[in-house]
Chain A
């Protein structure tokens, strides 16, 4: 019984779930998946020197996302201890105008009508307003330790490319 495909697919789903995570406290868990010494990250054809920079940018400068896998394929490269994954997924962005921390860009109206404080961070969490799906092609180079359930620093490169975009989205990519 070959469990490799399931393990790879589960791992990819885990990575995408990290992408979609709103809670900054979980960032450390995502960071642990990347090789701390040598990791190449390319996002929309732009390089990031280190995983931590990319993840911070993703956490602080990108609105909430939702990824859905549409295709996964992988090759174990013999004699190297590595796996190359070729993934396609769809992603949509929260186009409500709020960032991950719930802040929006509206300037509070002065006067009696200024209800909640900046960004209306009320008690109830505002719901995201999802835009139309974008298409993503994602390549990961992983170490085959994932087959032995060791996920520490297994990602040695990641190439994330948005391949198609809807014309009715508010995002500028």
Chain B
């Protein structure tokens, strides 16, 4: 079954050229939807003695080729009854079959754009049956069958419109008996916030099951005038199918604050943590230099390790779920496994003992046996996360780095060339030994590396402990996908790889109020689009800034981004709510409509 038929465009183009050489023209046939393509062609050739060649299905239309004379005859059969419908046969204009598909796309696109309101981010797909434009082009859905073809096509066109940011969709008055014809809505607009399917004939919960857990941000649903709403279990079922539904048919069915707190962790994940500013700059420098040498010349690193230094690596071979973005499904750890000291997997004490390396020589033996790598700290700073904190017992600090690397070449030291007189001519490639080529295929990997660093009195640094976890590659959790309502990232100096955002640990308890996650449904400021407009970095007078702790400054910045209030009002709001983010946002919501216009940036 073809969906939309746009994947046929190239094929049609080729056919069109070929057919034009043979001097054929194309005809389009509609109104055959209750039968198969072959049934229709058989029917036509029986009735008209004309065989339609090279036919292709596009949506609800079959396009085929006949000679010009045949085309004239064929058009006369338009209106013929077939499988309970009357056929609609047209000559395609100019013999250019591409016109048809492009035409379809153009019409759908113009319909979509006409029905989209950028101000409200609403796409109104109500009452498509009577859309004059669709009717005029014979594309208006006449029944469930044609609808199930037209709608996916429409969604496909919509998904290619980057300018359309859709938060709300109206599907009312579409004679929907179920949502099977419009299921693709969930793929095209997974972040939909509001959906209206009022005035349809949806009567069974089962048909909505395809949307279970699909619209994870669906907040409001309108289903008035559907038989389903009179079911005793209607509310319970809707709550079950849409886990984050707050408003159902204009009735509040979930406590929004409670809902958000349930699906949220106490703090929002950030990319970096440094206990203080000094640590921020020194550890970012250290990490950048270390990885640079790790990629280019590992021998150069050996000066950082003393005879007491320890290194070990462990392989975490558990494969991330398929729904983790870009997760490797068949990772290979052939080069790492001989050194892996994952004590949850290894039972032999002797092995655990052997795989802990102490002193530069023993450590380098492993370093040299690992594949050559390339890290992307400069190119993709967002792909790395760092935490650094002081470690008083060693008078040093701990740095943990999470990220990924590419394996660029085989290890320098070839473990598999056993020194026991193996002929040199038998390199790895012809070695049918333990490591099969599949096992040592080079590929990207994700990793976590933790180092205990001790500064020397002379200003140098030694690595007391170095543990490395190698795991299958996948996208990181801290990388926030850009959403429509996201703000521009903080100013980045291009020459600096990592821009730490230091947050000192505050010993006083009350300063450590965790800042909670931004609510999903921030109040919209009247007359202003939410999102990247207006709010930027908060400018405070220096004398005010001097009195505030970094945590307070961050709170102000968050409030400012959230409320779009200017500096003065943001500060007032924070003061009045005792520097609690939750209280401030609540207070803002209660009074937003009474604030003067100049309160906003």
Contacts and interface: CB of A to CB of B under 8 A. Distances in A.
Interface of A: 1-2, 5, 8-9, 38, 40, 42-50, 53, 57-58, 61-63, 69-75, 77-78, 80-82, 84, 86, 88, 90, 95, 97-99, 103-107, 109, 113, 132-135, 137, 139, 141, 156-157, 159, 161-173
A159 to B, nearest CB: 5
Interface in B119-173: none
Interface string B90-105: 0000000000000000
A62 B324 contact: no
Nearest to B352: A5
Given A2-B349, A172-B517, A45 B272 contact: yes
B324 A80 contact: no
B394 A58 contact: no
11 contacts: A45-B270, A71-B315, A75-B312, A78-B308, A82-B394, A97-B259, A105-B259, A161-B402, A161-B448, A164-B474, A166-B324
A113 B232 contact: yes
A109 B234 CA distance: 11
A99 B310 CA distance: 43
Contacts of A105: 254-256, 258-259, 262
Contacts of B321: 132-133, 166
Contacts of B235: 109, 113
B511 interface: yes
Contact of A86 (B324, B467, B503, B520): B467
A21 B396 CA distance: 34
B345 interface: yes
Interface stretch (B75-83, B475-483, B490-498): B475-483
Interface string B249-274: 00011111011011111111111110
Given A61-B266, A105-B258, A164 B327 contact: yes
A95 B325 CA distance: 20
B514 interface: yes
Contacts of B261: 61, 99
A114 B387 CA distance: 49
A97 B320 contact: no
Contact of B324 (A48, A58, A103, A165): A165
B471 A44 contact: no
Contact of A73 (B402, B467, B509): B467
A63 B390 CA distance: 31
Interface stretch (B283-291, B336-344, B529-537): B336-344
Given A84-B465, A99-B261, A135-B324, 5 more contacts: A57-B514, A75-B465, A135-B471, A170-B244, A173-B477
B580 interface: no
A133 B475 CA distance: 14
Nearest to B350: A2
Nearest to A159: B387
Contacts of A104: 258, 262
A164 B506 contact: no
Contacts of A72: 314, 342-344
B8 interface: no
A70 to B, nearest CB: 4
A137 B478 CA distance: 13
B216 interface: yes
Nearest to B452: A84
Contacts of B216: 170
Contacts of B509: 49-50, 53
B345 A71 contact: yes
Contact of A47 (B213, B327, B512): B512
A75 B313 CA distance: 11
B447 to A, nearest CB: 9
B394 A88 contact: no
B96 to A, nearest CB: 42
Contact of A46 (B270, B342, B389, B465): B270
- The 7 tightest CB contacts between A and B, nearest first, are A44-B269, A105-B258, A57-B266, A49-B512, A86-B467, A71-B316, A105-B259
B213 A168 contact: yes
Nearest to A85: B467
Given A49-B512, A107-B254, A82 B393 contact: yes
B464 A164 contact: no
A49 B505 contact: yes
A74 B343 contact: yes
A63 to B, nearest CB: 6
Interface string B499-515: 00001011111011011
Contacts of A167: 323-325
Contact of B320 (A84, A98, A141, A164): A164
B243 A166 contact: no
Contacts of B471: 70-71, 88, 135
A11 to B, nearest CB: 12
A170 B265 CA distance: 12
Interface core residue of A9, A71, A104 (most chain B CB under 10 Å): A71
B398 interface: yes
A74 to B, nearest CB: 7
Nearest to B508: A49
Contacts of A88: 314, 316, 448, 469, 471
B175 interface: no
B51 interface: no
A1 B349 contact: yes
Contact of B253 (A84, A106, A166, A168): A106
Contacts of B464: 77
